[in-house]
Structure 1
Amino acid sequence: MTERAGHTVAVEVASLETAVTAARISAETETPLLLVSSPDAAAQGGCLWFLEILRQANAEVPAARLAMALDCGDAAGFALEALDCGITGVIYRGEDPVRTKLGQLAELHGASFLTERPRTLFLDEQPDPEAACRAWIKMESP
């Protein structure tokens, strides 16, 4: 089973600072945001790093409506590890039959499973992440 980000606005974050910025704007605008890791971030930072970013952003801004998607590239082992450590959204671009089996496992874990990266704005590259996030929400919201 494959899910897409749908109408949730997706932003790419690579630091706690930009995740907290996104959380503040999510709360202020009452917009659910999908925090997406950088491409192949599971191989670089691991799942616990990304889980901790979400935990701290939620702790700083409890009113934020945040979900997460850790990009595991085509590495099935990283996708499995992400699901096992509690990541609630996985991006996996590998081939079948592994993709189908991981999708079924994600469903059992209650996690979203994406087979492609959603359209995102990379907040860490923006000179003014707050203004960029606000503009992105306006542009991406239905």
Structure 2
Amino acid sequence: MTAQPPHPRPIRFQSLSDADTACAAAADLGVPLLLVSVPGAAASAGAGWFRAVAARAAARHPSVAMTAVLDCADRPGDALGALSAGIGAILFTGRLDVAERLADIAAQHGVRLLTALPDALDLRGVRDPRRACRDWLNGQDGGHVTE
């Protein structure tokens, strides 16, 4: 189980456009990218949608070292579904005892299970997402940060 992700400046996305914008900014800057779905996306959009969006964004920006994380909130069933769907990294924010069991299962599948996330840039409602991503990845906070 990994409490914190490897990249300290994650960007949350809710669409292919958001994911593409974040990847383009990371490519411009030559930095790795931690791309995280909006909270609870495993329940609302599903693992298949997430996998397709992450794959398309990665294909459009092959130079970006991207880690895509599906947010399963505190729903262990969604986390298990993500594991079954072959998602490579998931965020589970539920009870610690459940997280420990999920971490064991995730490890058997070669999946990274995160239980926490540093502050993230949330692209929902951002007027200039490309600039916000560039600023965020450069260490600046443009006021669109979520936990």
Same fold (TM over 0.5): yes
Unaligned segments of structure 1, at least 5 residues: none
Percent identity between the aligned chains?
Answer: 38
Cα root mean square deviation, aligned: 1.5
What amino acid does structure 2 have at the position aligned with 1:114? L
- TM-score, normalisation: structure 1: 0.91
CA contact (8 A) 1:23 1:61 kept: yes
Q: Paired residue for 2:58?
A: 58
Deviation at 1:104, TM superposition (A): 1.3
Secondary structure in structure 2 of the residue aligned to 1:39: coil
Secondary structure in structure 1 of the residue aligned to 2:64: coil
Secondary structure in structure 2 of the residue aligned to 1:69: strand
What amino acid does structure 1 have at the position aligned with 2:21? T
Deviation at 1:43, TM superposition (A): 0.7
Deviation at 1:58, TM superposition (A): 1.1
Q: Paired residue for 1:116?
A: 116
Q: Paired residue for 2:94?
A: 94
Secondary structure in structure 2 of the residue aligned to 1:97: helix
Deviation at 1:93, TM superposition (A): 1.4
Q: Paired residue for 1:74?
A: 74
CA contact (8 A) 1:15 1:124 kept: no
Q: Deviations over 1:108-132 (max 9, x none)?
A: 2222211123311012321000000
Greater helix fraction, Structure 1 or Structure 2: 1
Separation of aligned partners in 1, 2:124 and 2:97: 35
Deviation at 1:61, TM superposition (A): 1.4
Unaligned segments of structure 2, at least 5 residues: 141-147
CA contact (8 A) 2:8 2:118 kept: no
CA contact (8 A) 2:7 2:33 kept: no
| Count of residues in Structure 1 that have an aligned counterpart in Structure 2 | 140
